[in-house]
Chains A and B, each alone.
Chain A
């Protein structure tokens, strides 16, 4: 105890910081500086580039605002539902709405494609029942699919943040307003809404931020015709090899996300009311309540269940003409798409069996786990007892979260272009993305071990080493496992950076899905579905593991 207090306040934690800071300097700050150097060069700020940038920026805002509004439309009633009512299957429905947020965006995109796409299940059903209708009778517009996918994985943010505010609202406030003569509408307008408005604003801004930097969903569902900043960076950097424009676009993007992040932290610190954690959850009683609950429950369960179910179904369902027989569409269950993953076909998208992508992914994910734990543990130990140094370094180490994955990839290309032939760069990029999560998982666990526990152990007869072995280690083991799983699933699902820097001969699962989807043919499509299903299962297993091993009282993210 007093050893630590004596060390307090000086730079004693600096050695702990050196590995993560060195890593960030090499793989984040240096590439970032190269991006900025290129942005302010004469190649980037040209008369041709500026209109493209302006148009792309405006479109990015447009789709993000639209997505956010739609998300609020579904999210606010849902938040109210979960905060105020008790009904059967509530926990399950809440978990169902939370899953997409943690799924890789390629899986969400593939799931929407499997439902709404031209080869999707809805279109197949529509055609089966109406054989005379045109073959594309049930395809929704790609832009609508993008918006729906955004709603799909972001609604949980509204449910969580606004729901938390709603359920910590003291019911006595509303009851008092009623006794003072306000009807239910005026209670809502004059008491409830003003009290939860800060949380609505904060949640909306967060959703907006995610929509603004969305990449996988837009690229896979919309293609290059819906070029947001992210998609345009990718197209300019990889397809058109125009690095200066890509740099300019990412500088604009970074500026925007930085602004929104500052606004967000400003909002959550300034505009929150102290609310008491007291909730009044009731079973729906009146007809109005019963109608509301049934309608929202039905809507949510349909909206969330259909895409998640249609992906694995479509991966097991043949829906294509046999080779050479263009007219006859074959229906029926099949395992062919999975079998095909193991076959090395000439002329296919890959020159290796596609399942190799899964092995690459697993290898990258393992390397990411190792690297991010090695770098994360020292930083988390330092952050567990924050001094002035930690207050400065903490936001610094979280900064990669604020920049998009595509931009990280672009930075690698610009700064380390000549090393791109090596598959080693991918785990470094994944570690950049995973490190903040790893630190945020370990830090509360380390900080949550009260000195008193160690004191208690030593008064009970445990020598110092035994204290570490019997107290610190068992508690941290679970956190370390959770952090490792986090890093693993982040790496498995990482798409943006990987797409920019991975070598064609070393694809990962998400990259393989993208390639399959961009190729014609029912077999390629089926394999994309099979790959996406595998990825969904792996990620879900990871999420379940994290939920299971997370210690109680270690807090939320």
Chain B
């Protein structure tokens, strides 16, 4: 459906996005995950037609959109601060896009009611949008975007201004709505929890490029780079030097000890590689980390144990501070 080909964009002279290409298919929710300033919002604005790429193409069903102005694209965009029209009430906000399409009043009424129903705000039609809570405003913004039955829905950090509990509830609702309507969606966020909850596929943006693409499970299992592993907080990321190869595993020496890891690439002796130590205790791995316990934090079903060397692991039973502990963990090669 939507296809981006080699998009380039500079901002005030320096490159913001370089060679971005990806697809969004029917019924699929894509999540663009990246730190602030990584250019993800700009990417959305370009798809919406509010900005133009310096080069590259944006196609929908094979048709280039370069000549299509934003109001003719039929893409719904939900903004971070909702961008509700303060001079219109809830009904009129939701009806806005339908009025622009000059639909008959009866149909507008019907579709507004339907959209408000979808976001559980049926009773709110006559309210002023400035009187609504943040979560309610967010739902109105969603209803407004849904009412036009867009060919594509885009969300620009839509839950950024809400507290965690509200966020979790809305996220589940949104997931259900997207699933039911089968509208392809692009969801932009810097919050990995949101991304992992909502996305069928995650694209991680860094330095203007897509550094990792895959389903949430794939990305989680194989971060493939030090940046992604660090950004997602998968464990301790550190550097080591390759010593040699043994039975298909590489021996890597680091400040935390010598580890045996599987790598996707061939390495030469002495080469620097990034390793990831996942903080979970395992039975069947040859690798182990150890250190003197400096801190033990209770975390509901486990204890986070920090060592004096900066490593940490999650354990079921708490050791004592000052104790020397060795734990078997999974260590991976990140390149």
Which residues of A come within 8 Å of B, CB atoms?
A: 1-2, 450, 452-453, 455-464, 466, 470-471, 474-475, 478, 551-553
Contact = CB atoms under 8 A, between A and B. Distances in A.
B100 A462 contact: yes
A475 B130 CA distance: 14
A455 B77 contact: yes
Given A455-B77, A553-B130, A460 B97 contact: yes
Given A470-B96, A552-B130, A458 B70 contact: yes
Contact of B79 (A2, A452, A470): A452
B75 interface: yes
5 tightest A-B CB contacts, nearest first = A460-B97, A461-B100, A456-B83, A452-B83, A458-B70
Contacts of B69: 458, 463
A456 B100 contact: no
A459 B81 contact: no
Counting chain B CB atoms within 10 Å of each CB, the highest count among A452, A459, A475 belongs to A459
Contacts of B179: none
Interface residues of B, number: 29
Contacts of A456: 77, 79, 83, 85, 144
Contact of A461 (B45, B52, B81, B101): B101
Contacts of A464: 71
A464 B87 CA distance: 19
Contacts of B145: 460
Contact of A1 (B51, B81, B97, B130): B51
B167 interface: no
17 contacts: A1-B50, A2-B51, A452-B79, A455-B50, A455-B79, A455-B83, A456-B77, A458-B69, A458-B71, A459-B50, A459-B73, A460-B100, A461-B97, A462-B100, A470-B96, A474-B87, A478-B87
B59 to A, nearest CB: 18
Given A450-B83, A452-B81, A460-B100, 12 more contacts: A452-B79, A453-B85, A455-B77, A456-B77, A456-B85, A457-B96, A458-B49, A459-B77, A460-B96, A464-B71, A471-B85, A475-B86
B148 interface: yes
Counting chain A CB atoms within 10 Å of each CB, the highest count among B51, B100, B148 belongs to B100
A459 B86 contact: no
B94 to A, nearest CB: 10
Counting chain A CB atoms within 10 Å of each CB, the highest count among B52, B83, B97 belongs to B83
B48 interface: yes
Contacts, number: 77
A185 to B, nearest CB: 41
Interface in B19-48: 45, 48
Nearest to A475: B87
A457 B49 CA distance: 12
Contacts of A452: 79, 81, 83
Contacts of A471: 85
Contacts of A478: 87
Contacts of A450: 81, 83
Interface string B139-178: 0000011001000000000000000000000000000000
B98 to A, nearest CB: 9
Given A450-B83, A452-B83, A551-B86, A459 B75 contact: yes
A456 B140 CA distance: 13
A458 B77 CA distance: 10
Contact of B148 (A1, A453, A461, A474): A461
A459 B51 contact: no
Counting chain B CB atoms within 10 Å of each CB, the highest count among A460, A462, A471 belongs to A460
Contacts of A474: 87
A341 to B, nearest CB: 42
A459 B101 contact: no
A475 B86 CA distance: 8
A463 B71 CA distance: 6
Nearest to A452: B83
A262 B281 CA distance: 68
A551 B86 CA distance: 9
A462 B71 contact: yes
A344 to B, nearest CB: 49
A475 to B, nearest CB: 5
Nearest to A449: B86
A474 B49 CA distance: 25
B272 to A, nearest CB: 42
Contacts of A462: 71, 96, 100
Given A453-B83, A458-B71, A474-B87, A466 B100 contact: yes
A459 B48 contact: yes
A321 to B, nearest CB: 59
B76 interface: yes
Given A474-B87, A475-B86, A455 B96 contact: no
